[in-house]
Structure 1
Amino acid sequence: MLVGFDIGGTKIELQVLSDQGEVLFKLRQPTPGDYAAFLIKIREMLMDVENKIGFFGGIGIGLPGAICPTTGKMKNANCTFLNGRDVIGDLCQATGKTVRIANDANCFALSEAVDGAGGGGTVVFGAILGTGCGGGIVVNQSIITGANAITGEWGHNPLPGYNPETDGDIGQCYCGKKNCIEQYISGTGFAAQYNHKYQADLNSQQIMALVDAGNEQAVAAYQLMLDQMARSFASISNILDPDVIVLGGGMSNIERLYQDLPSAMNKYIFSNEPKVTVRRAVYGDSSGVRGAAWLAK
């Protein structure tokens, strides 16, 4: 059995998979508000699994954050009570299990690389385009983490080919830099561009509804965002040359992207006959917890 946890700010989701990826058991619980209660909650959920299904040896955990390679302690977690803690060591002691932890975007990419939209690919880049803009890289069904545990976090690189006349200036990113990719191609970034330019107050779904209706301003905004997305993903292709780029998050629901984006990328890719494959995630919101379960394997 493969046991995975997806740790969020409000909920903890657990899934148990078979070696073939079949879901054997699911469980959701609210996320506790402090560290001691968190350790107890994970132990209780695991006891529930063993009582219903049987013994298993290890667990995988995905969450927004990472284990610092130098200290071995958690950093940048959205559940702030985890930061600065030896989460792996403490969970191993509390549960008696082997524990592996990865960033949620990495778990998303791993899930889709093993048996999702990137199944069969050697190199898979997974991008979550929602409130923010995260990414993960999987090679031969193994997550690439990096020396600083930030591999795949291309959303806080500068937008490639940034031009203030066409891309505009929508202010400083929360990370302290300006013109980050995340500020343009995430769901919130796309909306921020449109609202800043047209003095509106719409979200990305409302803007895309206007695009579908043929609204001239919205169509122009979509074409600009498409070009920004093409530049951003082409920069990944020119370095990694992935077999598949898998999209998740709210922006992955824009159906026309899967036809428009590959051709838009072609002019930015260093190849005479570029081959670009962009697919929507197969498992959607469940990719994170499934990827965490595959970590256990």
Structure 2
Amino acid sequence: MNIRLGVDLGGTKVEIVALGPDGRPLLRERSPTPGGYRATVETIAGLVEATEAKLGAQGSLGIGIPGSLSPATGLVRGANSQELNGKPLREDLEERLHRPVRISNDANCLAMSEAADGAGAGYETVFAVILGTGVGGGIVSRGRILEGRNRVCGEWGHTPLPWMSAEEFAGPRCWCGRPACMETFLSGPALAADADGPGARDASGLPARAAAGDCRAQAALDRHTDRLARALAMVVNILDPDVIVLAGGLSNMEHLYEAMPRLMPRHVFSDHAETPVVRAKHGDSSGVFGAARLWDSGG
């Protein structure tokens, strides 16, 4: 049986899926993300071996990670799961599992999944956004992930927020060391801290609070919505994708889909701007489905 295996390496969980020839999931399993690099390698390998044993077949293997592989060294870099940085993850997994492995950024995997049979299906160029604990982006065009010469294509969260106001300038310093990264304005923890002060991290309750008349929650949501509109308009000015797909915890906030078409055009350098902004069809499963499809991308 021809199967494709995908692994999504997250901050709290490691998930594996096996897709059959028709693209439907045959088996899915999750395991808590362990502490430490070696334990992470073993957890991934263990999930792969257990899945193949249950299915009685070996498959191609793609892995989505919160970072990317350096084209110069092959080592992981830019991962907010910082125990991965500087490690030869692909080589260690290939040695452990005795097969080639493809690894890509988790936002690239999201874009691959949503372009294949999700909210971006039928569009030529898809820009997919993760709005969660971190902020990232991935691009798929004509069925292929665009990674770029330096393999940073779509690293949208680590560019400065555009059209900053005097109150926003010069912005907080990101964990990556740079000031004013969009992640420091648009992530879930950033939104929570804007509403409730330093140390707050959970923004999920803000829409309900705002609907109940909490002015502080509403003001934070308004600032976040305006910032997201500016940030996405910048992507339109550079890439002009056919659709923008939102995923991650903040993508569940309904007001974003009403506000983006209204707010984005004022920042787009065109007399006509109607880029659709839609919610990911596969939710938090997009990453693992897209990882399984990495061998389809030809990259």
Tell whether the structures are fold-level matches, with TM greater than 0.5: yes
Give the equivalent residue in structure 1 for 2:206: 207
Whether 1:225 aligns to 2:227 is no
Contact preservation (8 Å) 1:238, 1:270: yes
Matches of 2:57 and 2:100, distance apart in 1:
13
Give the equivalent residue in structure 1 for 2:243: 244
1:96 pairs with 95, 98, 104, which one?
98
Q: CA deviation at 1:128?
A: 0.8
Matches of 2:24 and 2:294, distance apart in 1:
15
Alignment of 1:1-297 (within 5 A): 1-78=3-80, 80-165=82-167, 167=168, 171-196=172-197, 203-297=202-296
Matches of 1:200 and 1:53, distance apart in 2:
45
Matches of 1:270 and 1:204, distance apart in 2:
32
Q: Give the CA RMSD over aligned residues.
A: 2.4
Answer with 282-291 or 41-50: which moved more.
41-50
Distance 1:274 1:70, change over 3 A: same
Matches of 1:219 and 1:77, distance apart in 2:
32
For 2:26, give the aligned amino acid: L
**Aligned-partner SS, 1:13:** strand
Contact preservation (8 Å) 1:8, 1:78: no
Q: CA deviation at 1:37?
A: 4.6
Matches of 2:68 and 2:49, distance apart in 1:
26
**Aligned-partner SS, 2:293:** helix
Matches of 2:237 and 2:43, distance apart in 1:
44
Matches of 2:201 and 2:52, distance apart in 1:
47
Answer with 245-254 or 74-83: which moved more.
74-83
Which string of whole-angstrom CA distances, capped at 9 and with x for unpartnered residues, describes residues 106-155 of structure 1? 11121111111111111111111112211111111211112332221112
Contact preservation (8 Å) 1:125, 1:138: yes
Distance 1:254 1:89, change over 3 A: same
Distance 1:53 1:160, change over 3 A: same
Distance 1:32 1:99, change over 3 A: same
Matches of 2:218 and 2:141, distance apart in 1:
36
Q: CA deviation at 1:206?
A: 3.1
Contact preservation (8 Å) 2:70, 2:77: yes
Matches of 2:196 and 2:35, distance apart in 1:
36
Q: CA deviation at 1:75?
A: 2.3
Answer with 141-150 or 170-179: which moved more.
170-179
Matches of 2:173 and 2:165, distance apart in 1:
16
Q: CA deviation at 1:278?
A: 0.6
**Aligned-partner SS, 2:267:** coil
The alignment covers a number of residue pairs equal to 294
Q: CA deviation at 1:39?
A: 4.2
Could you tell me the TM-score, scaled by structure 2's length?
A: 0.88
